[in-house]
Amino acid sequence: MSDTMTELSLTLSERHTADFEMIANGGFAPLSGFQNAADWERVCTEMRTAGGEYWPIPITLASDLDCAVGDVVSLSSDEGKPLGRLTVEEVFERDVKREAEQVYGTTDEGHPGVAAIYEEGARCLAGPIEADALPDHEDAFMRRYLTPEESRKAFAERGWKRVVAFQTRNPIHRAHEYLTKAALETTDGLFIHPLIGKTKAGDIPADVRMRCYEVLMENYYPPGRVILGVFPSKMHYAGPREAILHAIARRNYGATHFIVGRDHAGVGDYYGTYDAQKIFEQVDTEELGIEPLFFEHSFWCNECEGMASGKTCPHDSEAHVFLSGTKVREMLGNGERPPHEFSRAEVADILIDAYKED
């Protein structure tokens, strides 16, 4: 054997950097590394790891790095920060078309999650990771950054036994505020946990969203009943399966309940309106370790003179205030504030300013 060994290194993509962080900080427990072929197979077909735990989306490391089983690969973030290392236990080829069909429900390259795995390619490196550091984030996020261990400790310090988590990748509008407060009525605390990893083009930038969450917390939520954190994962846009992934992650962060809306983690028209709720019929929530809370589409009703849903409002849709995302973006781009019934004025002001900066 030669006295000199080739030092292998790999700069992770932005998406893989997010996966490394979620594995390293404990948010993706029970994963301890990037998944192998047996995991990939069972996750795609059964939504379980090779070891039998619920897991709905493969977390694999696609790479064409020339390496072999037993090699140790130094890993850096997409920005070049040294993070740790991967011990290669397997190199395998995944069937990306099959993954697309089974996990995302479509092979259409127009789907951003499908397009991402097609671009990454089939060859994958699998094995455990060792983390020396986590990726860097902007100061606005780091002020709110909690690892799963830290969030569980924060809940315990407040005496919270029943904690409901809310996942979002958008600013919180009146409908979101309504359902989070409805959930808070029956729990001890609310964990607002916005995703700050990679999203698709056109989504509101994460730093702008953070300012929106903070102004809402200051003015409209009881300070002792809510914690704002950040979720450094990427978006897969896998709809129903991603709802389960988000629930598992929030279980790891210490939540006992998880809000699932009408189109959780969806994109376009790829999923049915309530598919993200129906998929929980396929899992044992006791084994999953977190209880989903299902909410219907909420809106302002002029007749009810407040927020409501199809479960609580008897009036025709003509009385309902609903704006599409496209319409809201158009209004913001024109410097127009969406109606009070749709968005708090403070949130609208932040968004209008952000659109002006663009």
* Same structural domain, 144 and 127: no
pLDDT, one tens digit per residue, over 292-336 is 999 998 999 999 999 999 999 999 999 999 877 778 878 888 899
Q: Give tens-digit pLDDT for 247-303.
A: 999 999 999 999 998 889 999 999 998 999 999 999 999 999 999 999 998 999 999
**Structural domain ending residue among the three candidates 91, 114, 131:** 131
Structure confidence at residue 200 (pLDDT): 67
Residues 291, 193, single domain; the answer is: yes
Which residues belong to the active site? 169-170
This prediction has a pTM of 0.94
pLDDT in tens, 37-73: 999 999 999 999 999 999 999 999 999 999 999 999 9
Window from 61-70, 73-82, 167-176, 179-188 with minimum mean pLDDT: 167-176
pLDDT in tens, 94-142: 999 999 999 999 999 999 999 999 999 999 999 999 999 999 998 889 9
**Would the pLDDT of 202 be above 80?**
no
Angle at 75 between CA 118 and CA 120, to 5 degrees: 5
Cα Rg, the chain, nearest whole Å = 21
Number of domains in the chain: 2
SS3 309: strand
- Considering 83, 99, 131, which residue would you say is the last residue of a domain? 131
| Gap between the Cα atoms of 190 and 55, Å rounded | 25
Classify residue 181: in a domain, yes or no.
Answer: yes
Residues 169 and 302 in one domain: yes
Strands (DSSP E) along the chain, which ranges? 8-11, 33-34, 61-62, 72-76, 82-87, 90-93, 123-131, 163-168, 189-194, 226-228, 257-260, 291-294, 298-301, 306-309, 320-321
**Residue 317 sits in a domain of what CATH number?**
3.40.50.620
Instruction: Report yes or no on 327 lying in a domain.
Output: yes
Point out the domain boundary residue: 114, 131, 148. 131
Residue 207 CB partners (closer than 8 Å, separation 6+): 138, 140, 141
| 277 in the same domain as 151 | yes
Q: Are residues 152 and 96 in the same domain?
A: no
Please report whether residue 154 resides in a domain.
yes
Which domain, by its residues, includes 64? 8-131
Whether 322 is covered by a domain: the verdict is: yes
Q: Do the domain assignments include residue 3?
A: no
Is 5 a residue whose pLDDT tops 80?
no
Residue 358 confidence class, pLDDT cut points 50, 70, 90: low
**Does 68 share its domain with 152?**
no
DSSP state of 333: H
Contact 23, 135 (CB under 8 A): no
What is d(CA 99, CA 92) in angstroms, rounded to the nearest whole number? 14
Q: Is residue 171 very low, low, confident or very high in pLDDT (cuts 50, 70, 90)?
A: confident
156 and 120 in a common domain: no
